[in-house]
Amino acid sequence: MGYIIENMNIDSIVEKLETVDHSIVSVIGAGISKASGMPTFRGDDGLWNQYRAEDLATPYAFARDPKLVWEWYRARMRILLQAKPNPAHFALANLEKANLTTGVITQNVDGLHEIAGIRNYVEIHGRIRYARCTVCSHIERWDKLALAQKDIEPPVCPECKENLLRPDVVWFGETLESNNWSLALDWTLQAQTLLVIGTSGIVHPVASLPYLAKRNESFIIEFNIEETPISDISDFSIYGPCEKTLPEFADKIIQKVGRSDESD
């Protein structure tokens, strides 16, 4: 296990990074959006506490009862529409503006990274704000439309006009989109420094990325509220709310080694 840094004492990390060729890649999970009010799967709505995500977020559940699955996603969307990016999201955007990052690999489907201004990202598990046809290739946004309201039948694809739309996310039992996964692997192999932020380190295949980076001799910094399996291979583990620790880290490293973006 690497060094455990608490109470925002990150100067030693910044000093270390001054000697590293900066190609920072970030792997982010649900923990980064917690301060934005986003639940991981189930909120406080008692109706949905009787269901497990593994029982609803599957192609089998959708085939069996598409209306139930859509009602669950509408309940999640009502929470999402109230959420805003928090300082951790903006810290990653600032690192990008300083030309210190290659990209963000996100397991989150909430889109808050994009709203925060991050340009280079890959959404490994899809994007909940969009819907796609179950048969044809049509994709459209649904987050701010009538689909987010209650008591509406599962939407029919406006393109082929006969098949249902489904949320544009990767469900349990489905494989990752190959182009997204290839890009995530490419970025990981390029990374001189890998930030692992707000992720449990147990959801595969994304959980394998820090280990791949470690074998490639990347410098690994973990941001989380507690120890995870990734802690064992991290050079530094920074424990605490990432909406507090990540902005402090980003500000200091930008001051030391950041480069302005001439296109801005």
9 burial class (0-12, 13-18, 19+ CB within 10 angstroms)?
A: exposed
**Beta pairing class for 121-123 and 101-106:** parallel
Q: Known catalytic residue: 125?
A: yes
- CA 239 to mean position of chain CA atoms: 19
Catalytic residue among 22, 89, 113, 125: 125
Do 122 and 103 meet the contact criterion of CB atoms below 8 Å apart? Answer: yes
Q: Is the peptide bond before 87 cis (omega within 30 degrees of 0)?
A: no
Sole residue written with tokens 């890959």: 122
Closest residue by Cα to residue 213 from 195, 197, 200, 198: 195
Rounded CA-CA distance 5/1 in Å is 12
Q: Which run of H or of E encompasses 106?
A: strand 101-106
In contact, 122 and 105? CB cutoff 8 Å: yes
Q: What's phi and psi for 96, nearest 5 deg?
A: -65, -45
As annotated, the active-site residues are 125
